[in-house]
Amino acid sequence: MSMRVIIIDDHALFRVGLQGLLQQRGIEVVAAVADGHEGLELADQMQPNIILLDLRMPEIGGLQVLQLAKQRGIKIPIVMLTTSNEEQDLVDSLRNGAQGYLLKDMEPDELVSALRDIERGKNVIAQGLTDVLARVVQGEPAIEESANTESPFSELTPRELEILCLLADGQSNKIIARNLGISDGTVKLHVKAILRKLNVHSRVEAAVIAVEQGLRQSGNNHLATETHAAAKPASRK
């Protein structure tokens, strides 16, 4: 069965070109629209495998579309396809539920390969941006939490908090299991619970939130997620 995608992008020429490119490579484009609201409505009706979403659009931006999709309970993987290689755009997209962040200047075959990985459940980030994301994880918390603001981690158990710290340090399930003396399966269950309680869809999102809130171990200082390098850096549109 071929992959089915919806394109949401306000640039008509890009929509048409991308649609033709994907269809030539065996990917069915079930809809290509300029408006985020219309795109989400069609996604509800057609249930594609992936939604390809532009970041900057005049009526409703990509981040707003991500937020609306989460509010509506849409579980279809959403992938940003943009010209922006800005650090904040990447972090904001991941925090709002994007499963991938790709750049528009990537090679067609690289794009198709990235979409196949996303269809298999991976988080895919453009190659030129993996270092950017690593710097975010290594850096100081981007948000200073007020003493009166409830912690986003208030629902996590002590064990889940411990595992989240290790996730933010870039440790894999296998390494976490070995360090804590528990099984890989138990770690997977804890990770699922962490994602559910934080209302995020990926380890990348959870790690970003943990670092921004200052929740981090002092050990490893790199990001080692199930992130796939997919493209070259590009200039911002």
CATH number at residue 50: 3.40.50.2300
Centroid of chain to Cα 195: 13
pLDDT given for residue 64 in this prediction? 93
Residue 135 clears pLDDT 70, i.e. is over it: no
pLDDT at residue number 171: 82
Answer yes or no: is pLDDT of 4 > 90: yes
pLDDT digits (tens, 9 = 90+) for 21-49: 999 999 999 999 999 999 999 999 999 99
DSSP 71-114: HTT--S-EEEEES---HHHHHHHHHTT-SEEEETTS-HHHHHHH
Query: pLDDT: is 138 or 65 the higher one?
Result: 65
Across all residues in the chain, what is the average pLDDT?
80
pLDDT for 150: 55
Residues 6 or more apart whose Cβ sits within 8 Å of residue 39: 6, 8, 31, 33, 51, 53, 65
CB of 187 closer than 8 Å to CB of 166: no
Across 31-56, b (16+ Cβ under 10 Å) vs e yields: bbbbbbeebbebbeeeebbbbbbbbb
Q: Is residue 188 part of a domain?
A: no
Residue 148 has a pLDDT of 43
Does residue 127 belong to any structural domain of this protein? yes
Copy the structure tokens of residue 201: 């869809």
pLDDT band, residue 134 (cuts 50/70/90):
low
Q: Mean per-residue pLDDT for 189-200?
A: 87
Q: Is residue 192 part of a domain?
A: no
In a domain, 94, yes or no: yes
Q: DSSP strand E in 10-162: where?
A: 28-33, 50-53, 78-82, 100-103, 123-125
Q: Mean pLDDT throughout 150-170?
A: 80
Can you give the pLDDT at residue 123? 82
DSSP state, 145?
A: P
Residue 149 lies in a domain: no
- Structural domain contains residue 144: no
Is the per-residue pLDDT at 130 higher than 80? no
Number of domains in the chain: 1
User: Is residue 204 assigned to a domain?
Assistant: no
Quick check: is 158 in a domain? Answer: no
Containing H/E element for 19? helix 12-24
pLDDT of residue 15: 92
pLDDT at 235: 40
What is the percentage of the chain residues whose pLDDT exceeds 70? 80
- Whether 233 shows a pLDDT value over 80: the answer reads no
Measured at the alpha carbon of residue 140, what is the angle toward residues 123 and 191, in degrees to the nearest 5? 40
- If pLDDT is split at 50, 70 and 90, which confidence band does 226 have? very low
Residue 48: domain span:
4-135
